[in-house]
Structure 1
Amino acid sequence: MSVSEFAHPDVLAYWWLPDYPDRRVPGRLTWDPDRGGDLKLMGELRKPVILDNHLADGGVQKYRVRPNKLERHYPVILGSHKTNAGREEAYTLLNSLSLNSVGFHGLEEFPEHISPGALLHGAWYTDPSEIEADRAIFDLSHLSSWVNLSGLEIEYPQLSGSHVDPFIVITGTDLPAFSTTHENAIVELRQLLRQTGDHEHASGVDQSWQLVIKIEPMGELERFTDIAIDIRALVTIGAGKTADITRAVLQHPQLHQHTLDGTPVPAFRDDITYLNRWAHRGSNDSSIRKHDLYFDLEQLGGADGVRRWLDAASTYRTELRRVMATRYTDAMYLEDRIMNTSAALERFDKVRRPDAPKVFRDGKWHVASFVDRIIACADYAGPTFADLIVEDAPVWAKRVKFVRNQLAHHDDPFRITGEVGEHVLAEQVYWLFVMCLLRECDAPDATFESIARHGQIRWLSEQVEERLSPSESG
């Protein structure tokens, strides 16, 4: 089964727990990128425990021992599927939850219904901590647009007036990878060229860019995914649309592809496909044009900019993921976007300035307040953010505090109207966090200049200016 065919797997297989390899239960596994996995078994993964209840009249009543809630969780489930060609495919399900086992009763086995948290196709692992590889490859939507560099050239010789030249010439040139390091990992943005069409009725060249991560001698699964999620955030910010992880594979030095007679080919790795819900997925997968980008790879500083971003993102990973959760989905309430980002901004400043000086106010020295920290963030973000909010940072920061308090304490007018804050404010606090993190990774001026030129940023500033300008009297 190819990776593309495995994007939405639907397989019949035998499933078992690592501690009970002889108890294999048939069942059907399906996977949906939005809803995750669904495993429906013909029986139970654990053999029912039947005990005797000795009655007062000397009789014996059999009863089932019901599983406790902890036993509903399966860290690992293994599966085996035989293809039509007779080849065995290995599956490993991670962090699964039994949806109905607590309600099992009686002496007969029940069909168990399980929700897997993640899935590995191509290898068996008995312990999640043992999932290791030396290479991982991730496909992200909008990554190619954000890299903004093409190795394709198209020529139409006949347009020059000649009728003997080819109608069209497509040239695909291999471009060097953007390579950097992060801690003990090599991180690359690598171009991929592939032929398309049946070469009889249609033919062409497809170009895309992939994220490739290498860790020697081996790296744990979480190390690879942490880097991929941080790159996902970067591409989402720069592209202005959610960069979904559409494909993820692990590669192990001992897993090779094989010829038809079963001979291993060491030069070609076999893939271990990794499926996960990856939190929220974007609802808009339309293509991006150059003027849609807030900034691209070159404006960030190329490979070195990616390295600095990963270093900063690892320091503020909790704050970054909380903020990006507000961008990955359209289902989050506006008020929740403001609350999440405001909390992340306060924590960002506490991490950046753990020994922030006290502030003299009302004749006394005070520990830096929420407003003080928001003002510090605005100063750190620089002139691009000052142009975005238009008004003085202290005035704006107090308004952010007012909105945050209304939401946190359910005060009036939020209690009465159910509404407080606005879209413009939600965007302002988001871009404040983004610009602070870009400052933290020493993003060049070109990054901020490109953001300032973006039509959405200019529109936000215009909205603020209209609101702040005195109305003209009729």
Structure 2
Amino acid sequence: MGSDPLNLDASAEWAGLWWLPDDPGCRVPGVLRYEPECGLTLSLIGAFEDRITTTPTPGVLMVHEGRRTWAVIYGAADQREISLFGCFPNRSQRTFGARVKTPDKQTIVATAALIGAHVGSEDEEAFSATEVSVEDLGHWAASTVFEGFLSAPSGRPDGSGTISVKPMELQSVEVDGTEFTLMHRHTLPFFDQRRGGTIGRMVDTAYIRITRREASSLSDAIGYARLIQDLIALATHRATGVIWIRLKLVPNDAVSESGGLRPERNVDVLYSPYVVGKHDAKAAAHHHVFFTCEALSFEEVIPRWCEMYERLQSATNMVLGLRYAPARYVENNLLTAVGAAEVLHRGYDIDEPPIPSEDFKPMREAMLAQVPEEHRSRLRGSLRNDPTLRDRLYALADRPDQEALSALVPDVDRWAKRTTRARNDLAHEGRTPNHELEELMAIVDVTTAVVLLNLLNELGLSAERQREIVRDHPQLRATARNAQNWLSTSEVNS
């Protein structure tokens, strides 16, 4: 199986020598530390020159305001090459003129690191494959190498049974020249002797390998990690963290002296994603998950998600942002949820002007003719032939399965009307005097749920599964009750 990847939720450190790529002869000892909460910090015994200086004339050194940063720093530690990217000095301690001469000290912060290779930049295409593990991936994939059997003669368990490892058939799909493969790595059997008993265990980890026809970069790898991370966040309806990223580096001398191909070298990535995955945390509860690969196969969902992700990324980012970093105030969440609905509708690229263009243009010119010339340019920008927010909300309500939508939003007319009023009041007046707090919260939850239902429908989730989600998911059941209580004409009039 080889060495395990470096988990982003585990601390680590490397003591070695560090240098700038354009000055390999000047190597400074130091320790690189990674902490999940703080990121990457390089502590040097010695220092790189971080002052910004010029020499206008020989013998004259001018020191300018600011501090130097470094795109890349190389290192060698624990028999591995290390590349640090986006580096800037955090603290420097110089000893010029000190009574007792001691080494300089310098602390450098880096935004990302490659453990196992020297690479010139985050965009250098030096890797043959990217491997990504994120939280709940195995649960979503509905795939494991383990099989369990309980012995039950005469219909009753007798206390015996087995757990076995079975070979897994690879699931793979190609999207625009990039291959996505669902893979597993598992540990060998391990018996942990405790004073009170013995624990036997194995660990199965699901991950996705992404292989392009051409080489890829660190920036590409982080982009792929986010692509997978956001897919699982949508499927599980909760924030999803990145557990590890590993790259495959093919050496320049890919052919060995014996004529055979050299194995690809593992290169681990350390950086600070917006959520760090906890590899030992409990998986999402089954009834909290919108869908797994049992409902929509891996080979189906990956191509659809790749296409959707590019086309609808802004709307996806906004609605998933309510999972990753929910605002403390309902007004922020209102603008985010309604903004996601507007952006999603625009992303469908189905806008039809409410008034035919051939009719609207002469109407606009006739109206502008009645306006003093000095105000025409200002008014011209206000006369737009676009769908209103209410039009867009109605259009979104028409796209998912209608039985599921009606269970979620029993009164579409009132939801669209009250949502539009709340957003307009907040955006134009800076407050929402016509809505109670509970109604605003209901608007946020219902609008978010409508956007999510649209994304699931666009992904190809069946009408039956959409109905099951609205009926069985605890949060969507609560959202439907709030919609009935606060966004239903019958309840308002009762």
TM-score scaled to structure 1, two decimals? 0.80
Change (3 A) 1:202 1:223: same
Q: Does 1:424 align with 2:424?
A: no
Alignment of 1:74-89 (within 5 A): 74-81=70-77, 83=78, 88-89=79-80
Q: Deviations over 1:409-453 (max 9, x none)?
A: 562358xx9x79644333323222222223333333344233223
Shift of 1:397: 2.5
Q: 1:385 matched to which residue of 2?
A: 405
Q: Does 1:113 align with 2:107?
A: yes
Shift of 1:273: 0.2
Structure-2 separation of matches of 1:27 and 1:297:
47
The answer to whether the 8 Å contact 1:335/1:420 transfers is no
Change (3 A) 1:204 1:338: same
Q: Does 1:142 align with 2:111?
A: no
Change (3 A) 1:235 1:49: closer
Secondary structure of 2:214's match? strand
Shift of 1:67: 5.2
Of 5, 19, 24, the residue aligned with 1:3 is 5
Q: Does 1:176 align with 2:169?
A: yes
Secondary structure of 1:448's match? helix
Secondary structure of 1:123's match? coil
The AA in structure 1 aligned to 2:71 is: P
Q: 1:342 matched to which residue of 2?
A: 338
The answer to whether the 8 Å contact 1:251/1:269 transfers is yes
Q: 1:449 matched to which residue of 2?
A: 467
Q: Deviations over 1:209-247 (max 9, x none)?
A: 211111123223333332331221121122233221101
The answer to whether the 8 Å contact 1:252/1:269 transfers is yes
Shift of 1:354: 6.0
Q: Does 1:127 align with 2:121?
A: yes
Structure-1 separation of matches of 2:284 and 2:149:
23
Shift of 1:254: 2.6
Q: 1:211 matched to which residue of 2?
A: 208
Change (3 A) 1:142 1:264: farther
Q: Deviations over 1:38-74 (max 9, x none)?
A: 22333432265777899xxxxx9976613536x33x2
Structure-2 separation of matches of 1:358 and 1:343:
20
Structure-1 separation of matches of 2:17 and 2:478:
57
Unaligned runs of 5+ in 2: 357-362, 365-383
The answer to whether the 8 Å contact 1:27/1:41 transfers is yes
Q: Does 1:99 align with 2:90?
A: yes
Q: 1:436 matched to which residue of 2?
A: 454
The answer to whether the 8 Å contact 2:134/2:244 transfers is yes
Change (3 A) 1:5 1:459: closer
Q: Does 1:252 align with 2:272?
A: no
Shift of 1:125: 1.0
Change (3 A) 1:263 1:79: farther
| Stretch moving more, 436-445 or 185-194 | 436-445
Q: Does 1:241 align with 2:238?
A: yes
Of 311, 316, 337, the residue aligned with 1:315 is 311
The AA in structure 1 aligned to 2:466 is: F
Of 287, 290, 295, the residue aligned with 2:291 is 295
The answer to whether the 8 Å contact 1:136/1:212 transfers is yes
Q: 2:270 matched to which residue of 1?
A: 275
In the comparison of the two structures, how many residue pairs are matched?
A: 449
Shift of 1:124: 0.6
Shift of 1:406: 4.6
Unaligned runs of 5+ in 1: 55-59
Of 68, 75, 80, the residue aligned with 2:66 is 68
Computed over aligned residues only, the root mean square deviation of the Cα atoms, in angstroms, reads: 4.0
The AA in structure 1 aligned to 2:407 is: D
Structure-1 separation of matches of 2:259 and 2:268:
19
Percent of pairs with identical residues = 19
The AA in structure 2 aligned to 1:210 is: Y
Shift of 1:349: 1.9
Structure-1 separation of matches of 2:173 and 2:324:
26
Secondary structure of 1:375's match? helix
TM-score scaled to structure 2, two decimals? 0.77
Q: Deviations over 1:283-306 (max 9, x none)?
A: 994322322222111212442122
The answer to whether the 8 Å contact 1:359/1:368 transfers is no
Q: Deviations over 1:103-129 (max 9, x none)?
A: 999788963332211111000112322
Q: Deviations over 1:149-183 (max 9, x none)?
A: 344222344x539xxx9943212212222211222
Q: 1:351 matched to which residue of 2?
A: 347
Shift of 1:462: 1.5
Q: Deviations over 1:267-322 (max 9, x none)?
A: 75331001121123479943223222221112124421222112111222233223
